[in-house]
Amino acid sequence: MRLFEALLLLTETAALATLAVRPWRATAWPGRLAALAVLAAIAQALVERPDWRLVPAHGLALVLALIALRRPRIPSWVGGLATALGLLTLAIAAALPLAFPVFRMPPPDGPYAIGTSLHHWIDAGRPETFTADPADRRALMVQVWYPARPVPGAKRAAYIEDGAALAPLARLLGLPGFIFGHLASATTNAVPDAPAADGRERFPVLVFSHGRAGYRQHSTALVEHLVSHGYVVATIDHPYAAAGVRFPDGRIVPLDPRMVDRGFVTRRIPDLAGDVSFTLDRLAGLDARGPLAGRLDLARAGVMGVSLGGETTAQACHLDPRARACMIVDVWIPDAVLAEGLRQPTLLLTRDLATMRAEGWTEADAIETDAEMRGLFNRLSGNGYLVRAPGLYHLDFADTALLSPLTGWLGLTGPVDPERARRITGDFALAFFDRHLKGAPAPLLDDPGARYREVMVERRRR
């Protein structure tokens, strides 16, 4: 809970507690405390961005102030009822920020600070296949995260710039469109447009693809972990496959409702893989000029993705030889990739069938995902790793547990401690890319039991 949120709730608690033991007409203290609550509400609105979670708290402060100003002489039973209603409102006001916190992304453990920049790129040579307009061209919003020079005291980048962009996701889940609005106040560890890290080192490049109805930031903990260890990561917002993509002109492109259809998704995978290749093209431009010139090593490029992003990753790696390493997380595999395999070193990260069933997946979906990930593993012509982490649910591979402490209770995340779940995903990703893009030792891939006894790893060596 943020400082002024807590201060507002504390002053309201004090005012209501005083009201409970002393009637308003007998003492001025409730009025004074109500005035403090109003000042705390004003300070909260000015210093911290207000949002829907704080409506009960701000409303209670206003009611307390009105009562304090008028100082009504009311019967004791009316005062008692009003106090009880106030305490109920206070309980709701305290519960909402706790259930939907404005979080700070956990600090990564690598030696590099993190910078980030946002880019709007249009592929003039590729039509937008999600629309019927033949003149429409594919446009992307891509966020680039990179090792940066430390900037003490600098403002950190927001987790998302505008919660309204996630309104389509909220409605897809049957929730009000404003439910994710407070995430615009959550912060990452990255400094916007920070200067690149000192020195002349060229960093391997990774492209990240999000899941269906996801957003480019939904695995920020993983991204920051990799960047802090010396990678540049470009995270793509795939328009019409993402929850909502906001462009610089203010336009929000929502999830295409046809994306719930498996056949339609299958036909769109080549387009999404094209986004990955186009992003690699534009990253070459960033390496040629601008603040990151000479710092991106595109000869050591990898692709990674979760869920639909994993399927996109598989297709992109199948088609684009610039992808030298591929990380595919918990998803079925495109038919062509399954039939022909992949040449690049590939990490396949998933769970066991028992965990999928416990999560509530249908038997058909669980068996298909498990069989196709193993099928691709068996067809790899390069080095491969099939990693199963029992107890991790599908949404544990993203930042879901950070969004609310209720995700486990709601069955959205699994029984594994959220910090351990993040560590499993991040540590295996880092070990894999370190070995196959940096040529560094990666003992975790050969002996995971020393750190994660529950994780099962199968290896193919070429």
User: What pLDDT is attached to residue 243?
Assistant: 92
pLDDT digits (tens, 9 = 90+) for 155-213: 999 999 888 788 877 877 777 888 888 999 999 999 999 999 999 999 999 999 999 99
Of residues 438, 442, 414, the one with CA closest to residue 428: 442
Residues 312, 268: Cα–Cα separation, whole Å: 9
72: Cα within 13 Å, side-chain hemisphere: 11
pLDDT digits (tens, 9 = 90+) for 341-394: 999 999 999 999 999 999 999 999 999 999 999 999 999 999 999 999 999 999
First to last CA, the chain: 51
User: What pLDDT is attached to residue 461?
Assistant: 85
The contacts of residue 106 (CB under 8 Å, 6+ apart) are 221, 402, 419, 422
Its sign, for the CA torsion 184, 145, 391, 259, is positive
Mean pLDDT of 208-236: 97
Where does the pLDDT of residue 33 fall: very low under 50, low under 70, confident under 90, or very high at 90 and above? Answer: confident
Residues 273, 319: Cα–Cα separation, whole Å: 8
Residues 252, 167: Cα–Cα separation, whole Å: 10
Structure tokens at 131: 């629309």
Give burial (CB, 10 Å; 0-12/13-18/19+) of 451: middle
User: What pLDDT is attached to residue 23?
Assistant: 55
Place of tokens 């060596």: 461
98: Cα within 13 Å, side-chain hemisphere: 8
pLDDT digits (tens, 9 = 90+) for 90-109: 899 999 999 999 999 999 99
Residues 147, 231: Cα–Cα separation, whole Å: 7
Where would I find the beta strands (DSSP E) of 129-286?
137-148, 190-192, 203-209, 232-237, 244-246, 252-254
Residue 459 pLDDT more than 70?
A: yes
Weakest mean pLDDT among 49-58, 319-328, 389-398: 49-58
The contacts of residue 16 (CB under 8 Å, 6+ apart) are 64, 83, 86, 87, 90
pLDDT digits (tens, 9 = 90+) for 119-144: 999 999 999 999 999 999 999 999 99
Of residues 409, 413, 422, 420, the one with CA closest to residue 395: 413
pTM of the complete model: 0.92
User: What pLDDT is attached to residue 78?
Assistant: 55
Higher-confidence residue of 179 and 338: namely: 338
Residue 77 pLDDT more than 60?
A: no
Mean pLDDT of 39-52: 87
User: What pLDDT is attached to residue 361?
Assistant: 96
Is 142 in a helix, a strand, or coil?
strand
pLDDT digits (tens, 9 = 90+) for 257-310: 999 999 999 999 999 999 999 999 999 999 999 999 999 999 999 999 999 999
User: In CATH, what is the architecture of 113-460?
Assistant: 3-Layer(aba) Sandwich (3.40)
Quick check: 11 and 36 in contact, CB under 8 A? Answer: yes
Residues 28, 52: Cα–Cα separation, whole Å: 31
Is 332 in a helix, a strand, or coil?
coil
| CA quadruple 80, 98, 159, 248: dihedral, nearest 10 | -30
Residues 215, 210: Cα–Cα separation, whole Å: 6
Phi, psi of 196 (to 5 degrees): -60, 160
Residue 27 pLDDT more than 60?
A: no
CB atoms within 10 A of CB 61: 27
User: What pLDDT is attached to residue 26?
Assistant: 46
Domain boundaries, the chain: 3-99, 113-460
Of residues 308, 273, 258, the one with CA closest to residue 132: 258
User: What pLDDT is attached to residue 348?
Assistant: 98
Treating both helix axes as pointing N-terminal to C-terminal, what angle do 220-228 and 418-433 enclose, rounded to 10 degrees?
50
DSSP letters of 404-453? -TTTTTTTSS-SS-HHHHHHHHHHHHHHHHIIIII----HHHH-GGGT-T
Where does the pLDDT of residue 79 fall: very low under 50, low under 70, confident under 90, or very high at 90 and above? Answer: low
Residues 84, 312: Cα–Cα separation, whole Å: 54
Residue 462 pLDDT more than 90?
A: no
